Amino acid sequence: MLGSRAARFARGLRSVGLASLPGWRGRSFALARETGAPHGGDLQPSACPGPRGRQLSLSAAAVVNSAPRPLQPYLRLMRLDKPIGTWLLYLPCTWSIGLAAEPGCFPDWYMLSLFGTGAILMRGAGCTINDMWDQDYDKKVTRTANRPIAAGDISTFQSFVFLGGQLTLALGVLLCLNYYSIALGAGSLLLVMTYPLMKRITYWPQLALGLTFNWGALLGWSAIKGSCDPSVCLPLYFSGVMWTLIYDTIYAHQDKRDDVLIGLKSTALRFGENTKLWLSGFSVAMLGALSLVGVNSGQTAPYYAALGAVGAHLTHQIYTLDIHRPEDCWNKFISNRTLGLIVFLGIVLGNLWKEKKTDKTKKSIENKIEN
Show the domain range for 239. 68-357
Decide if 40 is inside a domain.
no
Decide if 76 is inside a domain.
yes
Decide if 31 is inside a domain.
no
**pLDDT tens, position by position, 201-230:** 999 999 999 999 999 999 999 999 999 999
Decide if 34 is inside a domain.
no
**pLDDT tens, position by position, 99-135:** 999 999 999 999 999 999 999 999 999 999 989 988 8
Decide if 184 is inside a domain.
yes
pLDDT category at 185 given cuts 50, 70, 90 is very high
What pLDDT is stored for residue 364 in this prediction?
A: 57
Decide if 14 is inside a domain.
no
**pLDDT tens, position by position, 239-295:** 999 999 999 999 999 989 988 988 899 999 999 999 999 999 999 999 999 999 999
Residue 141's CATH number: 1.10.357.140
Within 13 A of 156's CA, how many CA atoms are on the CB side? 5
Decide if 302 is inside a domain.
yes
Decide if 26 is inside a domain.
no
- The share of the chain scoring above pLDDT 70, in percent, equals 80
What pLDDT is stored for residue 11 in this prediction?
A: 47
The total number of structural domains in the chain stands at 1
Residue 21 has pLDDT above 50, yes or no: no
Q: Where are the alpha helices (DSSP H) in 142-228?
A: 156-174, 179-186, 189-194, 198-201, 205-213, 216-225
pTM for the model stands at 0.79
Q: How far apart are CA 170 and CA 118, in angstroms?
A: 6
Neighbours of 357 (CB within 10 A): 14
**pLDDT tens, position by position, 63-77:** 888 989 999 999 999
Q: How far apart are CA 195 and CA 182, in angstroms?
A: 21
